[in-house]
Chains A and B, each alone.
Chain A
Amino acid sequence: MTSPEMPEPKAEVMQRRDRIVADLKTIVPGEGVVDATNQMRAFETDGLTAYRQLPLVVVLPETVRQVSRVLKYCETNGIRVVPRGSGTSLSGGALPLEDAVLLVMSRFNKVLDIDYANRTAVVQPGVTNLGITHAVEGRGFYYAPDPSSQIACSIGGNVAENAGGVHCLKYGLTTNNVLGVEMVLINGDVVRLGGKHLDAEGYDFLGLMTGSEGLLGVVTEVTVRILQKPETARAMLVGFPSSEQAGQCVAEIIGAGIIPGGIEMMDGLAIKAAEDFVHAGYPLDVEALLIVELDGPEAEVDHLIAEVTQIADRNGAAMSRVSADEAERQTFWAGRKAAFPAVGRISPDYYCMDGTIPRKALPEVLAGMRRLSEKYGLAVANVFHAGDGNLHPLILYDANKPGQLQMAEDFGSDILRLCVEVGGVLTGEHGVGVEKRDLMGTMFNAEDLDQQIRVKCAFDEQHLLNPGKVFPQLRRCAEMGRMHISKGQLPFPDIPRF
């Protein structure tokens, strides 16, 4: 197994383990501190199961005060902390460190307030994504961002990763649907950002926090926008002889001014795996399948389905089918939402990638992936959030065959480099974590990265929160703060003045 290089464990912290465990037990009494190796096993990995590491100790706080005291204690004693929600991260964001407290937020599992007049819900961070929708659906409301992991992943983890889902094309990502958070900084300070009103006053810390992968603070409460369910939603399956045609169809739908609730694409291998697994009624004789969902008032949906059908026909669709009722719509989606586990059934292991590209680069990137697949001798199944160019190539490999994991990882890195080359990015929704940390240099130069680390320094000067994630190097904040100014050096003769 390849293992990422993590920050050197602090020997003095490891030596003091017993003392630290005892101290933490005074802060979080009862079952809240887990230090037995066999019990800690449950936490040694997240959704990126290739990497495993036992933490120093696991702490499951129940109150904000406990979180604040644990963090303050860790800061005072120079102890690292890895926050964890449900542990479904696909980038190793919640991977423990040998010398770090794993702070598990799963006991923060209450819905605190539902306010239909203002269309907001206030929840604790351990509430699952789907749990929010369950809490409000009795009144016809839902929480829009819907990652495929929504049964399991926590809203705190969603904030930390800025999670997306199949409906984000129309309804936005986590960052567009979160109105406020309460968080605890490493120094124990409790800070509230935003709330039921808009635009947290002052700097947009809410924007910075969302997608910060547990490096800036621990989220202890989240206020989200809830939406009324559309009057109707219908999904279409549209099959094509080639991915290029499917891609062109997506471009034309959007070019026609239609923003569907979701547009997903799957390639031949993914279609077959999903169909065998959930029997969603997918056609098996096409190379690419689009699932297009249109939602809104009945009349509008009818009108749009007719338009999309025309566009699909124009682009050589081999089949198309519209869901007849809600049950069938759900079935269409079931295949897509189970695509990862479905691929898991046809291969001993798979490695899920997450690049985003400008949509028009799709043919180029698909061709590139085919070349790489041949080069590495590994198959790849593709599912895409086609509407926003977010690709999830799933590389099939067998970890028990020597060298295959390494090959899968190299293949994955090549795909991501290709995404960046065509104007895209390393990760659309799964986060950098440990996994893509060492590729950050393909997107950012030293100045870009240094400024990001300086943001980190404003929150956590000692790099105690989730170190070893996101940034290839831990640079000391004192060093980062230095500036070299040479006085009067620049007469800037070229700048026009008035």
Chain B
Amino acid sequence: MPDTASSEVFRPADESQVLDAVKWALSERAPVEVLGHGSKRSIGRQMQVAHSIDLTDLSGITLYEPEELVLTAKAGTPLSDIEKLLGENDQELQFEPMDYRPLLGAREAGRGTIGAVLATNLSGPRRLKSGAARDHVLGIRAVTGRGDLIKSGGRVVKNVTGYDLSRGLSGSWGTLALFTEVTFKVLPRAETEATLIVSGLNDAEAADLMAAAMGSDAEVSSAAHLPESVRGRFLNGGLPGGAATALRLEGFAPSVDYRIEKLIAMFAGVGSHTRLETGTSRSLWREVRDVAPFCDDGDRPVWRVSVAPSAGHQLVAALRLRVGVDAYYDWQGGLVWLRMESEAEPQMIRQTIAALGGGHATLVRADRPTRDAVDIFQPQEAALAALSQRLKTQFDPEKILNPGRMN
């Protein structure tokens, strides 16, 4: 599914070749697309570029010290390789980077590269508790749009030496610099997990329940509300009937048991309760993370919305008065996922978000004409937009990196 017009692909095999490629692009004023596996390529406008720089040959884990909780890899290293190695050592990237492939219909693409994980600041359903890629990055090496090789951060967690460019470049979608190497904090994987499903709540009741659960000392790591309209599309229809409100607990087995009992006692008389054991629980949260109910191989518009958690159901209720929309709440991922029945309705969605106290909406899926017409990323206030422009100029004055990608 080639989504860009680029024809010539440079595939640098080391950092100095990345530098050469960018310098060449600068000298020719030839804008380039920056590519990993291309698994998120259909997010954003189609780029009108003749060249791309594919970083997948810049691959390999260069440092992994499990007892020091640190891993360094070249930017093009497949995330799947990293997840595998960490898994063998009972460790993980605690921010659970989501997999966009099923939603975007890019099933044949690779799982994604570690550089892109940071460039798109991926996260998962533990977001509020454990953060996103930005919260776990320790250091980077990168080539800027000026053709300079720079480094920032290091391999230790406590570090305030100079500006935090590792974080500053996270989520910049390759529009400021190309990562060549990234260093992440890694953490022990929980020994076990379980999920409590409370069935039969409406959206507002679920919001109250999730707020109470998360405000308790039961250490809920993920929480989601899956309304009746989507419930059947999780776990192959294996969830009990009625809307499902899911609370995930992780840790040592006795601790998980104890906390789940605590929640059951707390919510006695509210809905009906079911406990999912480790394997099922893991599958459910992966599906929540990867937007399973909207992975329909279609191109109806899908929005990724971040608002204050308690505003989520108000947003959906307000939209439903005016348009057809299907939704679910990845509450501790900090997200509401929306699938529109027909039009993308960017104005309506963004105005409603603003009226509810603010947040942002990104159009992650839509047909080509819609994507070319709509602001994919949340438009910014004038002062912030001007600041963004100035930052862009300081990194990529000739606008050669991923032109238009973040519009």
Residues of A within 8 A of B (CB): 115-120, 140-141, 161-162, 164, 168-169, 172-173, 175-176, 185, 189-193, 195-199, 201-205, 207-208, 210-212, 225, 228-231, 251, 254-255, 257-259, 296-300, 303, 356-360, 385, 388-390, 423-432, 436, 440, 443-444, 447-452, 454-459, 470, 481, 483, 485-492, 494-498
Residues of B within 8 A of A (CB): 8-13, 17, 20-21, 23-24, 26-28, 54, 57, 65-70, 90, 121, 123, 127-128, 131-132, 134-135, 144, 146-152, 154-165, 167-172, 176, 187-189, 191, 207-208, 211, 214-219, 251-252, 254-255, 258-259, 262, 306-310, 334-335, 357-360, 362, 377-378, 380-381, 383-384, 386-388, 390-391, 393-395, 397-398, 406
B-side binding surface: helix, strand, loop or mixed? mixed
Task: For A202, give its contact among B27, B157, B378, B394 (CB under 8 Å).
Answer: B378
In the A-B complex, the 7 residue pairs with the smallest Cβ-Cβ separation, listed nearest first, are: A207-B167, A428-B158, A257-B188, A196-B308, A300-B255, A198-B334, A197-B359
Chain B nearest CB from A29 CB (Å) reads 26
Max count, chain A CB within 10 A of own CB: residue among B150, B161, B176: B161
A-B contact pairs, 27 of them (CB 8 A): A117-B207, A117-B211, A161-B160, A196-B307, A196-B309, A197-B306, A199-B121, A202-B406, A212-B164, A257-B191, A298-B258, A300-B252, A358-B155, A389-B156, A389-B158, A425-B154, A425-B158, A426-B161, A427-B161, A447-B149, A447-B150, A451-B395, A452-B162, A458-B387, A485-B23, A495-B10, A497-B8
What's the Cα separation between A229 and B381 when bound, in Å?
37
B-side contacts of A487, CB under 8 Å: 27-28
Q: Is the CB of B160 within 8 A of A162?
A: yes
Known A-B contacts A168-B158, A198-B127; A116 and B215 likewise in contact (beta carbons under 8 Å): yes
Q: Is the CB of B152 within 8 A of A119?
A: no
Known A-B contacts A202-B388, A225-B128, A432-B160; A485 and B27 likewise in contact (beta carbons under 8 Å): yes
A-side contacts of B151, CB under 8 Å: 444, 448
When C-beta atoms are compared, the residue in chain B nearest to A303 turns out to be B252
Known A-B contacts A190-B383, A199-B121; A357 and B10 likewise in contact (beta carbons under 8 Å): no
Q: Is the CB of B20 within 8 A of A204?
A: no
Q: Is the CB of B217 within 8 A of A185?
A: no
Q: Is the CB of A211 within 8 A of B163?
A: yes
What's the Cα separation between A262 and B27 when bound, in Å?
52
Known A-B contacts A207-B170, A492-B17; A296 and B158 likewise in contact (beta carbons under 8 Å): no
Task: For B383, give its contact among A191, A258, A454, A495 (CB under 8 Å).
Answer: A191
What's the Cα separation between A90 and B371 when bound, in Å?
50
Q: Is the CB of A425 within 8 A of B161?
A: yes
A-side contacts of B162, CB under 8 Å: 432, 440, 443-444, 448-449, 452, 470
A-side contacts of B54, CB under 8 Å: 498
Task: For A117, give its contact among B68, B135, B310 (CB under 8 Å).
Answer: B310
Q: Is the CB of B395 within 8 A of A454?
A: yes
Chain A nearest CB from B221 CB (Å) reads 12
Chain B nearest CB from A472 CB (Å) reads 11
Q: Is the CB of A388 within 8 A of B67?
A: no
Q: Is the CB of B397 within 8 A of A429?
A: no
Q: Is the CB of A423 within 8 A of B165?
A: no
Q: Is the CB of B167 within 8 A of A208?
A: yes
Chain A nearest CB from B388 CB (Å) reads 6
Max count, chain B CB within 10 A of own CB: residue among A175, A297, A491: A297
What's the Cα separation between A388 and B165 when bound, in Å?
20
A/B pair count, beta carbons within 8 Å = 315
Known A-B contacts A118-B211, A228-B216, A495-B10; A448 and B150 likewise in contact (beta carbons under 8 Å): yes
Chain A nearest CB from B92 CB (Å) reads 11
What's the Cα separation between A427 and B148 when bound, in Å?
25
Q: Is the CB of A119 within 8 A of B214?
A: yes
When C-beta atoms are compared, the residue in chain A nearest to B176 turns out to be A203
Q: Is the CB of B307 within 8 A of A356?
A: no
A-side contacts of B163, CB under 8 Å: 208, 211-212, 452, 455-456
B-side contacts of A436, CB under 8 Å: 161
Q: Is the CB of B156 within 8 A of A356?
A: yes
Told that A389-B156, A448-B152 touch, could you supply 16 new A-B pairs with CB distance under 8 A?
Answer: A162-B164, A176-B135, A198-B306, A201-B380, A204-B121, A228-B217, A296-B255, A297-B262, A359-B67, A424-B156, A425-B154, A440-B162, A455-B168, A495-B10, A495-B11, A495-B17
Q: Is the CB of B397 within 8 A of A481?
A: yes
Q: Is the CB of A300 within 8 A of B254?
A: yes
Q: Is the CB of A440 within 8 A of B161?
A: yes
Max count, chain A CB within 10 A of own CB: residue among B21, B216, B306: B306
Q: Is the CB of A455 within 8 A of B165?
A: yes
What's the Cα separation between A450 and B191 when bound, in Å?
45
Chain B nearest CB from A469 CB (Å) reads 11
A-side contacts of B187, CB under 8 Å: 259
Known A-B contacts A455-B394, A488-B28, A495-B12; A358 and B156 likewise in contact (beta carbons under 8 Å): yes
Known A-B contacts A225-B128, A483-B146, A495-B20; A297 and B164 likewise in contact (beta carbons under 8 Å): no
Chain B nearest CB from A68 CB (Å) reads 11
Q: Is the CB of A451 within 8 A of B383?
A: no
What's the Cα separation between A169 and B156 when bound, in Å?
12
Q: Is the CB of B397 within 8 A of A483?
A: yes
What's the Cα separation between A211 and B167 when bound, in Å?
11
Max count, chain B CB within 10 A of own CB: residue among A204, A228, A452: A204
Known A-B contacts A432-B161, A494-B20; A199 and B390 likewise in contact (beta carbons under 8 Å): no
Chain A nearest CB from B51 CB (Å) reads 9
B-side contacts of A496, CB under 8 Å: 10-13, 57
What's the Cα separation between A430 and B148 when bound, in Å?
29
A-side contacts of B135, CB under 8 Å: 172, 175-176
Q: Is the CB of B159 within 8 A of A228?
A: no
